[in-house]
């Protein structure tokens, strides 16, 4: 069995990878704070987790569209 590798979803070419989703979330929170609101940012579990941790005061769509 091989662990899944999570790659940083940042659209600016970041090549951070980890097999711990929590590490990826932490990386995003520290290295890409605020970037995940960029419309280019892919819709990923880590991105959603980061947005959820951000306070939820933004006018975000529920994710059931598209």
Binding site for Zn ion (CB under 5 A): 8, 10, 14, 16, 31
Nearer Cβ to Zn ion (34/59): 34
Q: d(Cα 65, Cα 16) in Å, to the nearest integer?
A: 29
Nearest distance from residue 17's CB to Zn ion, in Å?
Answer: 9
Nearer Cβ to Zn ion (12/60): 12
Give the pair of three-digit tokens for residue 10.
């940042």
Nearest distance from residue 11's CB to Zn ion, in Å?
Answer: 10
34, 54, 59, 62 from 37: Cα distances, Å = 6, 10, 11, 14
């Amino acid at each position: 069995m091989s662990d899944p590798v999570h790659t940083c979803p940042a659209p600016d070419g970041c090549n951070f990878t980890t097999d711990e989703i929590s590490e990826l979330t932490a990386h995003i929170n520290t290295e890409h704070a605020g970037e995940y609101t960029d419309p280019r940012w892919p819709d990923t579990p880590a991105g959603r987790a980061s947005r959820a941790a951000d306070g939820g005061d933004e006018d975000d769509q529920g994710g059931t569209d598209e």
